[in-house]
Amino acid sequence: MAQNPRTSETESAPTTGRNSELTRRNYVRSLAAVATAATAIGGVGTAAAEDDYEVIEAQGQTITIDAGETWENKLIDMTTGQDIVITAHSSDWTIRNVGFKGENTSGTGTATFGISDTSGGTCTVENVYLGDGSSTGNGNPNGHGQTAFWVAPDHNGHIDFKNVNIQNFADNAIYGSAPGNKGGGTIHIDSSFAANCYVSHFRLGTKGSKVTNSSVYVDSSEGYVGRGIWAWAPGTVEVEGCQIEMNGQNNAIVAGANGNPTEVVVTESDYDDQAGISEAAGSSVQLGDDVGTDPDAYIPDGVPTSPEEAASGAGN
């Protein structure tokens, strides 16, 4: 099976309204309520939506998305215990309305999505649910676990992420820093949610890349306590309108890695000051006057909270 290698950078040369606010006490309860509600109404909603999406069973296959293609309305059944890899290394492609049902227990340690725009175009990832996560068997701190999205070093265009829900992955949620030292492509993560992933949640490195109107949430219950937002060289990476609630775990914002400095500019956001900020290798995190230290992570409007909701496009 073709895999998506995570080539490291050293190997490759205004805020939206707070919807579904999550606090330390109600985070788990809120997600449980979502699951219960989905079960209660799913008999009608899911039945109505089945004709609107295709169910694909994970069987170790690789699906390739070509230039200009829109790949949408898919429900990926991960309860098979097998892996699936979706690759898009072309240009002007779209991934939309995709939900993954069940935890990834395959143990392959690959990336579920390996993506890039290699012709200077613009690509889109929107309305994707990866909230069921990957198993702890993938979470070896001395190696690679399962990554949700990996952006290849050759990326030289632009990728827009919007309304993406990634939780409980044993490696990075969105690993998008590799193009910083090669292709130079940009990434914009908007109105998205990531929680309890290992290594980092949103990882970027190219000037012009940014995270806006999004939330990161980490607690200690899942064992995955990765960095909130991690900026690699060369930067600058922008953070605007975000809530980074870490409950004292790891660092909320990290700038710099592997001896290379970068810059992060933060505005209209809140971060957990118990987790704090790390400025490595001479890096700089610039905090605007509108930045606070009382974060309240939330799931932005339009972000799917179940595989079926994502696959049917019900939240759009």
CATH of region 56-312: 2.160.20
Residue 169: predicted pLDDT: 94
Residue 302: predicted pLDDT: 97
Residue 223: predicted pLDDT: 74
Determine the average pLDDT of the residues in 171-184: 97
Residue 50: predicted pLDDT: 53
Each residue of 232-290: pLDDT tens digit? 999 999 999 999 999 999 999 999 999 999 999 999 999 999 999 999 999 999 999 99
Determine the average pLDDT of the residues in 31-46: 35
Q: Which residue has the higher pLDDT, 9 or 223?
A: 223
Q: Which residue has the higher pLDDT, 33 or 217?
A: 217
Residue 28: predicted pLDDT: 36
Q: Is the pLDDT of residue 124 over 60?
A: yes
Determine the average pLDDT of the residues in 185-192: 98
Average pLDDT score, the chain: 85
**Range with the poorest average pLDDT among 7-11, 103-107, 204-208, 235-239:** 7-11
The domain ranges of the chain are 56-312
Determine the average pLDDT of the residues in 11-21: 31
Determine the average pLDDT of the residues in 10-38: 35
Residue 262: predicted pLDDT: 98
Single pTM value for the model: 0.86
Residue 121: predicted pLDDT: 98
Residue 51: predicted pLDDT: 61
SS3 letters across the chain: CCCCCCCCCCCCCCCCCCCCECCCCCHHHHHHHHHHHHHHHHHHHHHHHHHHCEEEECCCEEEECCCCCEEEEEEEECCCCCCEEEEEEECCCEEEEEEEECCECCCCCCEEEEEEECCCCEEEEEEEEECCCECHHHCCCCCCCCEEEEECCCCCCEEEEEEEEEECCCCCCEEECHHHHCCCCEEEEECCEEECCCCEEEEEEECCCEEECCEEECCCCCCCCCEEEEEEEEECEEEECCEEECCCCCCCEEECECCECCEEEEECCEECCCCCEEECCCCEEEECCCCECCCCCECCCCCCCCHHHHHHCCCC
Each residue of 125-168: pLDDT tens digit? 999 999 999 986 554 444 568 999 999 999 999 999 999 999 99
Determine the average pLDDT of the residues in 287-306: 98
Q: Is the pLDDT of residue 33 over 50?
A: no
Residue 222: predicted pLDDT: 63
